[in-house]
Amino acid sequence: MPANRSVVIGVDSSTQSTKAAAVDAETGELLAVGRAPHSVTGTGGARESDPGQWWTALATAVRAAGREAGVPAASVTAIAVAGQQHGLVTLGPGGRPLRPALLWNDTRSAPQAAALATRLGGPASWLHRTGSVPVASMTAAKWQWLREHEPAHAAAVTGVRLPHDHLTERLTGLAVTDPGDASGTCWYGTGPGPGGAGRAHGPGGAGPAGSPDAVAGRGGASGEGGTGAASGEGRPGAAGSDGPGRPGAAGGAYDPEILDLLGLDAALLPTVAPSGATRVGTLTPAAAEALGLPRTVVVAAGTGDNMAAAVGLGLGGAGLLDHPVVSLGTSGTVFAATGARPADRGLAGFAATDGTYLPLGCTLNCTLAVDRFATLLGLDRDDTRPGDGVVVLPYLDGERTPDLPHAAGLVTGLRHGTDPRAILGAAYEGAAFTVLRALDRLLAACGLDPADPAVRDRPLRLIGGGARGRAWTDTVRRLSGRPLVVPAADELVALGAAALALGAVTGTDPVAVAAAWGTGDGEVLPPLTRDDAAWQRIDAVLTAAAPTLLS
C-alpha cells in the first residue's frame, strides 16, 4: 500500500445503521466499510431515535473503517456525512438534543401536514415556493406536531437541525446544511416563489460561493462545545459552487412566510452552504479524539442520503441527467437528477446537492415490509412466485406515495388453493408497483414524454439492499418492462459522501469525481416482457381501496 495514499471518508447515517466508507481519493477504490447499528423506537405511527446514538455509531464506524483499511490516520484528508432525510433534531443549551429525533417515517404529523397544505394559498402555492406539498414525512409537519403536542419542548429549542446537519455540527462545531437536505424541510424555497429566488443561503447571510463568509459559524448551538476549526480554518472553499454544466441551479433560501407560519425563528436554523461539497471547516478537538483522526481533516457540508446516492451514481450537471433510479431499502424511492424544476404534487421537488434538481417519489414500505410478509408466511425471502391473482398492498407503516399516512396492509384475492409463495410474490409486486407507479410522473417532471419510445426504454438504475435480491430484480423487471443497470458498488450513499469530501479538499465537482471513480458502473440486465395483467390488477385494487379501506 502506498505510504502517501490519500483517503477520504464518506458516512452514510441511515435509519437503522451508520456505514463509514474509507475510499482512495485518487482511484475511488473502496478500502473498507465500518458499520454500527442504531435503534428506532415507537409504536403506532411514532418513529424516534436518540441522536446521541448516531454520533456514537459514526465514531465507531469511522474507527472500524480505518482499522480495516489499514491506513494511518494521517492519510485521511476529508470527511462528509450523508444522512436520512427529514428527521427533526431539536437542540437545547450546549447543543444537546432536547428529546429523541422524530424520523422521516414518523406519521403522527399527518394531521399537521394536511392542515399546512391548505395554508399559504394551498398546494399549488407550496409547489411554487418549495417544490413540494407538506406530507407527514416533511420536517415542517414534524415541527408543527412538536409545537402542538410538546409546546414546552418547542419553546426551549435553541437549534433545529436535520440528522446530517447535527452530525456535521458535532464534527465542526458549525451549524451548516446544504440545499439538497434543506429542500426536504418544506421551509426552504427552491425556486421562484417568495424566499426562493436568488442565492441568499440563510439568515445572517452566506455569501456567494467561495467568499470567506459563505459558511461562517453564525448562530445556533454548537456541538460538543466546539467553536469550529483552528484560526484560519473553518472557512469554506469554492467547491461545488458553480461547477461546469449545471443547468437550472437549484439555489434558494429559507422562506420567511413559511417560517412565520410555523412560528420558527430563522436564527434557530443552520446556514445553507452553496453545495454539499462546500468546505465547512476541520474537526474540533473533541471530534478528532472521538474519531481517532487528525484535527486537520476537512469536513464538507454533506447532504441527504438520496442526494448522496445521486452523486455516487454520477447523476448531476457534470454527469447523467434525466436517468431514472429506483432505490429499494427500508423505503422505496424513484428519482432522477434534472435541470428542470419539478412541480408535481405527487413528487417531492428536492434540490440536488450540486445545483440541479432531484424530483423524487418515496414509499414508506419496501424491503422491511416484504421481509415481514416472508416471516409471517414462514418463507425464505426468495421462496416466491408471481402473485397469481393475489394482490398485497404492504402498507404496514402507513404510506407516503400515495399519501395514505394511516393506511394498514391489505391482502385480497385469496383462495383455498393459494400458494403461500404467491402471497409473498404479491407482496413484492405491491411494493414494486408502488415505487414504479411514480416513474411516469418523475419522467414528466424532468421534461420528458414517458410515452416516447426512447424514454420508455431508458434503463432503470436499481440500487439499495433490494437490488442484491433475485426476487426484487425479477419483480422490477417484470413490472417495469425496462432494462436494469445494477451498479457493482454496494455503498453508493457513502461513496457519494466520499466524493463530496474530496470536492471539499480539491474544488472538483463531486459528480465528476464519482463518474471518474466509476462507482455507478454495473451489470446491465435485459428487460422482461411487461406484466400488464399484474400491473392492472394491483392498480384496480389500490384505486378501489383508497381511501376507504386504506385510511
Q: Cite the active site residues.
A: 305
Q: Where are the alpha helices (DSSP H) in 192-292?
A: 256-262, 285-291
Cα separation, 260 vs 71, in Å, equals: 49
Cα separation, 310 vs 314, in Å, equals: 6
Q: Is 524 exposed, middle or buried (0-12, 13-18, 19+ CB in 10 A)?
A: exposed
Neighbours of 94 (CB within 10 A): 11
Sign of the C-alpha dihedral computed for residues 12, 13, 14 and 16 taken in this order: positive
Residue given cell 432522477 in the structure block = 336
Cα separation, 217 vs 166, in Å, equals: 14
Sign of the C-alpha dihedral computed for residues 246, 248, 251 and 254 taken in this order: negative
Please tell me what DSSP assigns to residue 97.
B
Read off φ and ψ for residue 141, nearest 5 degrees.
-65, -35
Please tell me what DSSP assigns to residue 228.
-
Closest to 282 (Cα-Cα) out of 213, 230, 240, 212: 230
Give the DSSP H or E segment for 31.
strand 30-37
Residue 69 C-beta-side C-alpha neighbours within 13 Å: 30
Q: What's the distance, Cα to Cα, between the start and end of the chain in Å?
A: 58
